[in-house]
Amino acid sequence: MHVTAIIAAGGRGRRLGAAVPKQALLLGGRPMLQWSVEAFLACGRVNEIVVVVPPEWLASPPEYLRRGGLRLVAGGERRQDSVANGFDAASVASDVILIHDAARPLVDEGLIGRVIDAAAEGGAAIVAAAARDTIKWAPAKGDEVPRVIERTLSRDAIYLAQTPQAFRRDVLREAVALGRAGVEATDEAALAEQAGHPVRVVEGGARNMKVTTGEDLVIAEALLRAEADGDRRDRTASRAGALAEAGGARAGDAGLRIGSGYDLHRLVEGRPLILGGVHVPCERGLAGHSDADVVCHAITDAVLGAAAAGDIGQHFPDTDERWRGASSIELLKQAMALVHDAGYRLVNVDATIVAERPKLGPHRPAIVASLAAALGVAPAAVSVKAKTNEGVDAVGCGAAIAVHAVALLQRSK
């Protein structure tokens, strides 16, 4: 059986109020869309994946969308237009086609498999969560405020639609045709219903939530954090048990972690010089994809390294247009969020700036204050030193600036 997954990620997510489409917002250190893509890539039953993205993404898609097995198509004005574009791009050999909203980033492989089976057998199926609350019917009547309840519905018959939704290809073809003929619907299951096809329900759950508002994003982060904490506790308990069995159990682990960071950027004409989030007057600035703040870059690698949470290139690659001209002090804040999610707090950081010019002494207090605010610590926990390279190599010749940084983390209580 050939299975195609269409991931609908062509919207703008205006209700979230973010400056970028919500599918590009970070969740647990990764864009929301990446979570959905990786869930379907991990499912061995899915043969191809079509990702519907904003049209401007096609020229330079994020790195995680450039891997094999993914086909990118442009989204349309409405969700059903985007899905129709995805359907057109799906292989004609598809037996079952799934549709999944990128705004549901926590979908899992088991759920994907169950909805595939249900659609293969019955023609159409959706993941849906049974209503838990008492359902009240209070229709709007003009400008009447407040609304008045007319009746109470039985929650035993009420389900809240989720995704993925899955269809045999012929069923989805009819649903898409209805949408193109002008029938409005909020999902393809509704179009399939209007085309006369029965749609089965596969039980979903609270974890397969949709991120629509800022509050939803906070809840999704909390879910991931709780799961990570549980995994860490399980790993810690397992490791402690193994040490005890070997007679090597140890006490008094202070939970301290040290990380180092290093970065170097060339000095070029026509760029501002930003160090530690502070604009330093200089006839030249640092070359780079972002604002090239070499201090922030080195410290970001140091804190991520101490938490074993990757590096700056992994989280903010210079191949991704979202980070072009980005403020590195803001990237440092996001890196610290990852550190906190990993269960650590920053004890202190020490950075050494190696530059022939300009003289940095007068700017050091402002740099320390800026870094402390981004790191969420007192200025006393931030050390910034400036050295020259005594005329040796590119740094010594004034062609570049380098920074070495060390960070100390401690496991949060």
Please check whether the two domains, 3-217 and 256-411, share a CATH topology: no
Characterize the bridge pairing of strands 274-275 and 70-74. unpaired
Characterize the bridge pairing of strands 159-168 and 96-101. antiparallel
Angle at 347 between CA 354 and CA 345, to 5 degrees: 120
Whole-number Cα distances in Å, 191 to 36, 81, 223, 233: 24, 13, 33, 46
Characterize the bridge pairing of strands 124-130 and 200-203. parallel
| All structural domains of the chain with their residue ranges | 3-217, 256-411
Task: Show Cβ contacts of residue 212 under 8 Å, excluding neighbours closer than 6 positions.
Answer: 13, 15, 16, 103
Structure tokens at 153: 């519905």
Whole-number Cα distances in Å, 4 to 51, 58, 100, 166: 11, 20, 11, 10
Convert the chain into a string of H (helix), E (strand) and C (coil): CCEEEEEECCCCCHHHCCCCCHHHCEECCEEHHHHHHHHHHHCCCCCEEEEEECHHHCCCCCHHHCCCCEEEEECCCCHHHHHHHHHHHCCCCCCEEEEEECCCCCCCHHHHHHHHHHHHHHCEEEEEEECCCCEEECCCCCCCCCCCCCEEECHHHCEEEEEEEEEEHHHHHHHHHHHHCCCCCCCHHHHHHHCCCCCEEEECCCCCCCCCCHHHHHHHHHHHHHHHHHHHHHHHHHHHHHHHHCCCCCCCCCCEEEEEEEEEEEEEECCCCEECCEECCCCEEECCCCCCCHHHHHHHHHHHHHCCCCCHHHHCCCCCHHHCCCCHHHHHHHHHHHHHHCCEEEEEEEEEEECCCCCCHHHHHHHHHHHHHHHCCCHHHEEEEEECCCCCHHHHCCCEEEEEEEEEEEECC
pLDDT at 249 (0 to 100): 36
Within a 10 A sphere around the Cβ of 42, how many other Cβ atoms?
A: 11
Which CATH number is 256-411 given? 3.30.1330.50
b or e along 93-111 (b: 16 or more beta carbons within 10 Å of the residue's beta carbon)?
ebbbbbbbbbbbbbbeeeb
* Annotation: CATH topology of 3-217: Spore Coat Polysaccharide Biosynthesis Protein SpsA; Chain A (3.90.550)
pLDDT at 253 (0 to 100): 45
- List the 284-286 sheet strands across, edge first: 284-286, 256-269, 400-411, 344-354, 382-387
pLDDT at 220 (0 to 100): 87
268, amino acid identity: V
Q: What is the biggest distance separating any 2 CA atoms in the chain, rounded to whole angstroms?
A: 83
Residues of the chain below pLDDT 70: 12-20, 144, 230-254, 413
Within a 10 A sphere around the Cβ of 304, how many other Cβ atoms?
A: 25
Residues 208 and 316: their CA atoms lie apart, in Å, by 27
Whole-number Cα distances in Å, 228 to 9, 233, 297, 343: 26, 9, 26, 9
Q: What is the pLDDT of residues 359-412, one digit of tens each?
A: 898 899 999 999 999 999 899 999 999 999 888 888 888 899 999 999 999 987
